[in-house]
A and B are shown apart, each in its own frame.
Chain A
Amino acid sequence: MESKGIGWDGKSLKEMLEESEKRIEEKKSYYGIERLSLKEENPFKYERAYASLRGALVSARETALHVAASPIVTEIGELCFGLYTPEGDSIAVSTGILVHIHTMSEGIKFMIREGYEEDPTINQGDIFLNNDPQCGNVHTTDVQTLIPIFWEGELIGWAGGVTHQIDIGGITPGHTLVSSIQRFDDGVYYTCRKIGSNDKIWRDHMINAKKAVRSPMYWELDEKCRLAGNLMIRDAVYEFIESEGIDYYKKFIREAIEEGRQILQKRVKERLIPGRYRASSFMDLPMKHQAWVPIARVDRMANHPVEIVVKEDGTFSLSFDGASAGGANAFNCDKGAMEGGQWVLLTQILIYGDKVNDGAYYAVEKDYPLGSWANPGDPYLSYQAPWGNLIPAYTTMMKCLSYGLFARGYREEVVPGYGFTGDSIQGGGVYNAGPLKGERWMLSTFEISGQGLGASAVRDGLNWGYAMWNPESDLGDVETWELFQGGIPYLSRKVKPNIAGYGKYRGGGNYGSVAFIANSEKVEFFAGREGLVFHGSGGMHGGYPNSTSYRLQATNTNLKEIFQNKLDYPISDDDTTNGEFERFLQGDIERKPIGTIYPISLQNYDIIHFSESGGPGYGDPLERKVGSIKQDLDDGLYTSEIVRRVFGVISEFDDTAKEWKIDIEATNKRREVIRNERKEKSMTFEDFWEYERKKITDGSLYEAVKVMYSDSLNLSKKWGKEFKQFWKLSDDFQMEVK
């Protein structure tokens, strides 16, 4: 029977996808391609073709972002575009928030597998919207627009664009909702839904969507931005085909992906040493005294063990075996989020500067254990803030690859990790005075796009300039954020000392800010970040993790009188034991050592402090050059006291010269004292083993830690066996949890 599909040669998309997957499985190469014939025959034409598509995608992004109004899109560039094969594999990508390139791939494949070709049908000019984490997305706040591209009646590809919303209509205002515990709290869901035809978004959809979120104007313009970019990409594809021919296009898109796969494999062979690499990271979720719903009132800690096996042929596998369980919290990740995270980091660590596409995805075997936070397998859980696990978990992949890069001699490529993209402060309120009285304002500061990067093995980490999900990070200007969150103007933003991870090479530093509530009512405020555990897998080769976050706010303050009388007000919290909040303000000042908090209410003249993350350090801090320490002090990255305690450097501020001076002789003595202290205060491995084992066997570990290990023991026999063997526990050992 003759097939009447919209795919190539009359095939259905489902048939095309099945054939593609079969060829990949059989030949272990993309679409079973054995040689890059187009590149071999005419490399100049081939490279020009790729550059033209890549250029079109970058151009589409740079143009389309001006259609949007949200500063998250226009200023920070939280959008990206991709071109996909009919089966949904990315061929080329724009710049921007690249974590979503592979997530859109999963969205397209979902539509193909679900038979969208027959119902609701896929036609030229159709527009599809997706933000469902079950269909490849990271969380609902990342909204994808996908359009099919037809040529002479055949579907020859897809264009896709993603923007990050300011608000998604969830249980609270904001974009990453820490109080969400089930799907129904996550905000509006669009599960690969057709929302337009003939290149126009249907009016009923737009009316509906604008009522579903708290920021309708931004939603509408973001949708138009994504559609505009996609249409530009479609036009560029038509130009390409008119120039090179449809046959060349069809062959080219497959070979470009296979080349992407081969590039990753070659890089792995070039830069890593075959073997097994392992690291772990953790994340805290202190909800026992915060959560609104009884089932969520539990302190949880997540275990993120990673194992990478690099094979001699350059292929490698990535496993999260031993990960703790998902549950009634917002930090669950679905497969799409995990694959997006893996993809974006591989493109940054190994294949930057070359052809970046889904070839990198196909070069890696993956294991996201069912039931774990990395693949809970329950669509009714919340997937609203998967970043809570995704971001720290993937520091472990970075660290594992860094062990290989170090051993191979590429020390300049080493990165032990990166700072958590937080404080992610959020919320919002309603203006009760001024020209916008009665209007709602959103607190969605995307300063989180600029975090400290970890140190390498030859230099310090990048300050305030890295986000794992967007290689072009930018924390934006204060004035930009105040445009749409005018109810919480800044009092300051300045370098915050002591947050960069310590080491011979320090991690990147970052800023702390102080803001207050003005002209508003009904203000909600919450935040998400690590607080009770160090983020990620720590430093490397003796380097220390960057500092954790904490919450500081003052309510019922006398700030109004301070302004009226022109008195000093807090602009920082550089000294947490003798803070400016306590010194300058009257009111209720609250400090908490946790980073993630449920929404609280704030009123006019209440003040908050928040800070972004530093990066982890590399090497022993006692080996840091004193000249570099002087620079750190002059730059305000560390205080004199921390420098004395950790780096063993004795310094004094020279009031005349207005700079820090180092006492070299006293520094040498201090460093010797620290070295001796290390010997005195350390124990043998055997004593350490006994000491820690006792905590496991006598049940004295904190409940959240016990639950975490209990999850891991129950979810993975392999991980459990190793854990029991190491600690010499009986085969039937179980963590006793309440």
Chain B
Amino acid sequence: MKEDKKTLERMLRGDLSWEQLKPIIADQKDSNRFDMIIEILQEKLKWKEQIILPLHEHLYIVSKGAKRIVKCDCGYEFGDYKINWKTKCRIRVRDTIEQIEELYPKDMGSDPKWEELIDKLNSLSKNDIQYIILSALIVFCVIKFFSNDQIRYQVMHAAIVVCCSHWIGFISVFAWVMLQRPHNKREMNRLELRIAELIDVIRDK
């Protein structure tokens, strides 16, 4: 059976029934499957770099100029494909029972003492987008400040630069505090667990 593009598109969307999918699994495979899938994936992307190899549900090795990089369908670029893209991710660690039980019913998840659960996240955050927009505005205003003769406009551009800089500073500090909060909580949880273990050890003795 040779699958047409439309069928493959439906397959990628998860729209094929088991009756439609089973022959695709069981029969001989198309020799041009790779090219057809690349074509379908490329058409869906909002950026133009050529896909070399699909790596993940949302990640691709793409050709960017002379470079080969890992790029997310959201536009985020992880850099050289030879460097593990996971090192550019944000990572969520679930290493307390409470955090595991946010996902799994009691007793039905791992014991974090034995095994933690790691989520890897990628994508441009809202903060990233804010930084980009504000930074562009600052650069624009600085250029205008020096190119404009009228003091009124120079004051206005200087004021925008100062406000934007303060805003970036503020949200950076706020984000840092928010990011540190779970870290501190984890540290406290770990301390509590260590204390509980020490109590057990003392009791055993």
Interface residue ranges, A against B (CB under 8 Å): 270-271, 273, 282, 284, 301, 353, 406-413, 457-459, 498-499, 502, 504-505, 532-534, 541-542, 544, 547-550, 575-577, 591-593, 618-620, 625, 642, 645-646, 678-685, 687-688, 691-692, 700, 702, 704-705
Tell me, rounded to whole Å, the shortest Cβ–Cβ distance linking B142 to chain A. 29
- Chain B residues contacting A692 (CB-CB under 8 Å) are 93
Is B88 in the interface zone, CB < 8 Å from A? Answer: yes
B92 pairs with A681, CB closer than 8 A: yes
Is B34 in the interface zone, CB < 8 Å from A? Answer: yes
25 pairs of residues in contact across A and B, judged by CB atoms under 8 Å: A271-B29, A273-B53, A282-B115, A301-B115, A407-B54, A409-B36, A410-B33, A458-B11, A459-B16, A459-B21, A498-B104, A533-B114, A534-B117, A541-B58, A544-B103, A547-B104, A549-B108, A575-B105, A625-B14, A682-B90, A683-B91, A685-B90, A687-B91, A702-B113, A702-B114
Is B119 in the interface zone, CB < 8 Å from A? Answer: yes
Q: Which of B25, B54, B105, B121 contacts A642 (CB 8 A)?
A: B105
B29 pairs with A410, CB closer than 8 A: yes
| Chain A residue at minimal CB-CB distance from B38 | A409
Given contacts A270-B29, A412-B24, contact A534 B56 (CB under 8 A): no
Is B195 in the interface zone, CB < 8 Å from A? Answer: no
- Chain A residues contacting B113 (CB-CB under 8 Å) are 532, 702, 705
- Chain B residues contacting A687 (CB-CB under 8 Å) are 91, 179, 183
B182 pairs with A533, CB closer than 8 A: no
Given contacts A412-B24, A691-B183, contact A593 B107 (CB under 8 A): yes
Is B2 in the interface zone, CB < 8 Å from A? Answer: no
Is B166 in the interface zone, CB < 8 Å from A? Answer: no
Is B189 in the interface zone, CB < 8 Å from A? Answer: no
Q: Which of A502, A505, A620, A705 contacts B103 (CB 8 A)?
A: A502
Is B55 in the interface zone, CB < 8 Å from A? Answer: yes
Q: Which of A270, A411, A705 contacts B114 (CB 8 A)?
A: A705
Tell me, rounded to whole Å, the shortest Cβ–Cβ distance linking A699 to chain B. 11
| Chain B residue at minimal CB-CB distance from A284 | B114
- Chain B residues contacting A533 (CB-CB under 8 Å) are 110-111, 114-115
Is B37 in the interface zone, CB < 8 Å from A? Answer: yes
Tell me, rounded to whole Å, the shortest Cβ–Cβ distance linking B154 to chain A. 38
| Chain B residue at minimal CB-CB distance from A704 | B114
Interchain CA distance A324-B64 in the complex, whole Å: 42
A-B contact count (CB 8 A): 149
The 8 A CB mask of B66-104 against A (1 = contact, 0 = none) is 000000000000000000001111111100000000111
- Chain A residues contacting B190 (CB-CB under 8 Å) are 700
Known: A413-B25, A682-B119. 14 other contacts (CB 8 A): A407-B53, A409-B34, A458-B12, A458-B14, A458-B16, A459-B16, A532-B111, A547-B105, A577-B105, A593-B111, A645-B103, A680-B179, A681-B182, A687-B91
B179 pairs with A498, CB closer than 8 A: no
Given contacts A406-B54, A679-B121, A682-B90, contact A548 B109 (CB under 8 A): yes
- Chain A residues contacting B182 (CB-CB under 8 Å) are 680-681, 683
User: 7 shortest A-B CB distances, which residue pairs?
Assistant: A409-B37, A550-B107, A547-B108, A682-B90, A533-B115, A682-B92, A688-B91
Looking at B14, B29, B89, which has the most chain A CB atoms within 10 Å of its CB? B14
Interchain CA distance A406-B54 in the complex, whole Å: 8
- Chain A residues contacting B53 (CB-CB under 8 Å) are 273, 407
A577 pairs with B114, CB closer than 8 A: no
Tell me, rounded to whole Å, the shortest Cβ–Cβ distance linking B177 to chain A. 11
Interchain CA distance A681-B95 in the complex, whole Å: 12
Interface residues on B, range: 35 or more
Tell me, rounded to whole Å, the shortest Cβ–Cβ distance linking B33 to chain A. 4
| Chain A residue at minimal CB-CB distance from B26 | A353
- Chain B residues contacting A544 (CB-CB under 8 Å) are 103, 117
Is B125 in the interface zone, CB < 8 Å from A? Answer: yes
Is B5 in the interface zone, CB < 8 Å from A? Answer: no
Is B202 in the interface zone, CB < 8 Å from A? Answer: no
- Chain A residues contacting B55 (CB-CB under 8 Å) are 407
B109 pairs with A547, CB closer than 8 A: yes
| Chain B residue at minimal CB-CB distance from A676 | B126
- Chain A residues contacting B57 (CB-CB under 8 Å) are 457, 504, 541-542, 618-620
Is B18 in the interface zone, CB < 8 Å from A? Answer: yes
- Kindly identify, within residues 117 to 131 of chain B, every residue whose CB is under 8 Å from any CB belonging to chain A: 117, 119, 121, 125
Interchain CA distance A687-B21 in the complex, whole Å: 43
A412 pairs with B115, CB closer than 8 A: no
Given contacts A533-B110, A577-B105, contact A412 B93 (CB under 8 A): no
- Chain A residues contacting B16 (CB-CB under 8 Å) are 458-459
Tell me, rounded to whole Å, the shortest Cβ–Cβ distance linking A693 to chain B. 13
Interchain CA distance A698-B64 in the complex, whole Å: 43
Q: Which of A499, A541, A683, A684 contacts B108 (CB 8 A)?
A: A499
A576 pairs with B92, CB closer than 8 A: no
B114 pairs with A685, CB closer than 8 A: no
Q: Which of B105, B114, B121 contacts A678 (CB 8 A)?
A: B121
Tell me, rounded to whole Å, the shortest Cβ–Cβ distance linking B4 to chain A. 14
Tell me, rounded to whole Å, the shortest Cβ–Cβ distance linking A459 to chain B. 6
Tell me, rounded to whole Å, the shortest Cβ–Cβ distance linking B181 to chain A. 8
- Chain A residues contacting B37 (CB-CB under 8 Å) are 409, 411
Interchain CA distance A578-B20 in the complex, whole Å: 42
Interchain CA distance A128-B47 in the complex, whole Å: 66
Looking at B24, B56, B103, B110, which has the most chain A CB atoms within 10 Å of its CB? B110
Interchain CA distance A705-B112 in the complex, whole Å: 11
| Chain B residue at minimal CB-CB distance from A549 | B108
Given contacts A284-B114, A683-B183, contact A409 B121 (CB under 8 A): no
A682 pairs with B121, CB closer than 8 A: yes
- Chain B residues contacting A541 (CB-CB under 8 Å) are 56-58
- Chain A residues contacting B33 (CB-CB under 8 Å) are 408-410
| Chain B residue at minimal CB-CB distance from A702 | B113
Given contacts A406-B54, A688-B93, contact A498 B21 (CB under 8 A): no
| Chain B residue at minimal CB-CB distance from A625 | B14
- Chain A residues contacting B58 (CB-CB under 8 Å) are 541
Is B178 in the interface zone, CB < 8 Å from A? Answer: yes
Given contacts A411-B11, A413-B25, A547-B104, contact A684 B90 (CB under 8 A): yes
B25 pairs with A412, CB closer than 8 A: yes
- Kindly identify, within residues 1 to 28 of chain B, every residue whose CB is under 8 Å from any CB belonging to chain A: 11-12, 14, 16, 18, 21, 24-26
B21 pairs with A576, CB closer than 8 A: no
Interchain CA distance A681-B186 in the complex, whole Å: 11
B103 pairs with A591, CB closer than 8 A: no
Tell me, rounded to whole Å, the shortest Cβ–Cβ distance linking A441 to chain B. 29
Interchain CA distance A325-B58 in the complex, whole Å: 37
A505 pairs with B14, CB closer than 8 A: yes
- Chain A residues contacting B104 (CB-CB under 8 Å) are 498, 547-548
- Chain A residues contacting B179 (CB-CB under 8 Å) are 680, 683, 687
B88 pairs with A576, CB closer than 8 A: no
B119 pairs with A700, CB closer than 8 A: no
Interchain CA distance A533-B90 in the complex, whole Å: 23
Interchain CA distance A472-B87 in the complex, whole Å: 41
Interchain CA distance A619-B12 in the complex, whole Å: 12
- Chain B residues contacting A577 (CB-CB under 8 Å) are 105-106
- Chain B residues contacting A700 (CB-CB under 8 Å) are 190, 194
| Chain B residue at minimal CB-CB distance from A619 | B57
Tell me, rounded to whole Å, the shortest Cβ–Cβ distance linking B159 to chain A. 31
B36 pairs with A534, CB closer than 8 A: no
- Chain A residues contacting B186 (CB-CB under 8 Å) are 691
Interchain CA distance A320-B21 in the complex, whole Å: 34
- Chain B residues contacting A406 (CB-CB under 8 Å) are 54, 56
Tell me, rounded to whole Å, the shortest Cβ–Cβ distance linking A633 to chain B. 15
Looking at B91, B108, B119, B186, which has the most chain A CB atoms within 10 Å of its CB? B108
Interchain CA distance A532-B110 in the complex, whole Å: 5
- Chain B residues contacting A645 (CB-CB under 8 Å) are 102-103
- Chain A residues contacting B125 (CB-CB under 8 Å) are 679
Given contacts A504-B57, A576-B108, contact A412 B11 (CB under 8 A): yes
- Chain A residues contacting B90 (CB-CB under 8 Å) are 678-679, 682-685
- Kindly identify, within residues 29 to 57 of chain B, every residue whose CB is under 8 Å from any CB belonging to chain A: 29, 31, 33-34, 36-38, 53-57
B114 pairs with A576, CB closer than 8 A: no
